[in-house]
Amino acid sequence: MKTEFPSKGEIQRNWFVIDASGIALGRVASQAAKILMGKHKPIYTPFLDCGDHVIVVNAEKAVLTGKKEEQKIYRRHSGYPGGLTETPAGKLRARRPVRLVEEAIRGMLPKTRLGKQMYRKLKVYAGDRHPHSAQKPQAMAVAL
């Protein structure tokens, strides 16, 4: 018996919209990562990019539970000695609310070239408008 694998031309990519307003950041991120990887499809294969495109709107209204707004710290390094920059989640939300959602979703994807390819199908917007209406995205509900 032979195992069937989908070829690049057989994979059909749909577009989904996730509204993050009032929903915990982790729940939004895990749902988006699942769709980006293609785990919701019966043709899912771990070593192929079978996932769909995801649009996340209202990123600035995503909720951080507990004291994460003050205590959670995002770190990045410039590559130079002493180049570590630490930013609390509250300040990051004030400056770049889209980055909170992007970092959460990126952390749930594979850390390989395949994961980078999946991440390119993610579009995040701070407000409730997006320029992808021509793709006819389907609304995706996230459980509270």
Structural domains of the chain in order of their starting residue, each with its CATH number? 13-140 (3.90.1180.10)
What stretch of H or E contains 97? helix 97-107
pTM: 0.92
**pLDDT score of 4:** 85
**pLDDT score of 107:** 97
**pLDDT score of 5:** 87
**pLDDT score of 33:** 97
SS3 assignment, position 79: coil
Side-chain-side CA neighbours of 44 within 13 Å: the count stands at 12
Residue pair 89/97 in contact (Cβ under 8 Å)? The answer is no
> Could you state, in chain order, the average pLDDT of each consecutive group of 10 residues for the chain (144 residues)?
86 96 96 97 92 97 95 96 97 95 97 97 96 95 83
Q: Are strands 73-77 and 122-124 parallel, antiparallel or unpaired?
A: unpaired
Phi-psi label, residue 52: left if phi above 0, alpha if psi -120 to 50, beta otherwise: beta
**pLDDT score of 63:** 95
Percent composition of the chain: helix, strand, coil (DSSP 3-state, to 5): 35, 20, 45
